[in-house]
Amino acid sequence: MRMEIENLAKTIKKRNILDDVSLTVEGIYGLIGPNGAGKTTLMKILAGLQTLTAGSIKIDDQHYVHRHASYITANTLIGYLPQDFMIYPEISVYEVLDHIAVLQGIVKKSERQQQIEEALAIVNLSGQQHKKMNELSGGMRRRVGIAQLLMRKPSILLFDEPTAGLDIEERIRFRNLLLELGKQHTIVISSHIVEDIEFLCTKIGILTQGQLRFEGTPEELKQRADGYVYHMDVQAEALSELLMTQDVTQINEEEQHLKVRIFSTEALDQPRVIPRLMEGYLAIVRGVDNNGK
């Protein structure tokens, strides 16, 4: 499923939260940008939770913002998981999902049961269904969030900072789950964590100050930093000064010295290396014009 967003704008008290944003969502789409860039606002507009000031949203060439409408048309195609998902803290996972199924209009008990079991199996929570929501870890709660979304059978899933605040094990499990879901759904992930985006996404959009600065594949993003990334060997005692003066993007410890990667728009007398996604992101955020190089 393909979602096209054209000239989307959101203004609050004369401040542009989103400014003429146009992007085409397909596959697993990563939305990255600094805090306050407008990622969550964009997600909430797509989920029908916030108004838009202008623009159009098309899903498979069908318009979902009618003329003069301030919200996206209510639909069951899009499911949104907020960053801190938590509902009915004192109720068990199964009962929460059962209630959500009722709210979705499923009256028949056997049908609800089947949907819940299927959703719990997908998110690997079948053994946790009798635990109360407030007894679950952050990652498990988010998986319950995904389960309740899946029961609606949406085609497009929106995840706001899905791995933020999770421990390493949960983060890996969650990332793998998103990858698995991406086989059958169009997914939009907003994240600060470039590694997650690199692992998951087939297409990336970078938002800063409400404007889309880049849209393309991970490879295209890396290319934006081509020629600006250097490799340097430094002694441990020289690292502090280097960190103060340069954008160090990676440090590897070797036996005798440290190997560092540096993003720099000024030419350095050091060997250039192939850029990584984080450096591509820095190039965009720093406004390096390397398009078509």
Chain residues in the site for another protein (CB under 8 A): 44, 47-49, 71, 74, 80-91, 95, 99-100, 102-104, 107, 145, 148
Looking at the Cβ atoms of 38 and 280, the one nearer to another protein is 38
Looking at the Cβ atoms of 47 and 150, the one nearer to another protein is 47
Q: Looking up tokens 């407030």, which residue turns up?
A: 134
Minimum CB–partner distance for residue 125 and another protein (Å): 16
Looking at the Cβ atoms of 103 and 168, the one nearer to another protein is 103
Neighbouring C-beta atoms of residue 244, cutoff 10 Å:
8
What whole-number distance in Å separates Cα of residue 223 and Cα of residue 232?
A: 20
Among 128, 135, 140, smallest CA distance to 166 is for: 140
What whole-number distance in Å separates Cα of residue 178 and Cα of residue 137?
A: 18
Minimum CB–partner distance for residue 70 and another protein (Å): 10
What whole-number distance in Å separates Cα of residue 52 and Cα of residue 65?
A: 9
Phi/psi of residue 232, nearest 5 degrees: -145, 140
Minimum CB–partner distance for residue 126 and another protein (Å): 21
What whole-number distance in Å separates Cα of residue 162 and Cα of residue 208?
A: 20
Looking at the Cβ atoms of 31 and 221, the one nearer to another protein is 31
> Looking at this protein, which amino acid is placed at residue 94?
Y
Considering Cα of 59, then 64, then 67, then 72, what sign does the dihedral take? Answer: negative
Minimum CB–partner distance for residue 288 and another protein (Å): 36
Looking at the Cβ atoms of 94 and 216, the one nearer to another protein is 94
Looking at the Cβ atoms of 107 and 244, the one nearer to another protein is 107
Minimum CB–partner distance for residue 49 and another protein (Å): 6
Q: Looking up tokens 């728009």, which residue turns up?
A: 265
Minimum CB–partner distance for residue 282 and another protein (Å): 31
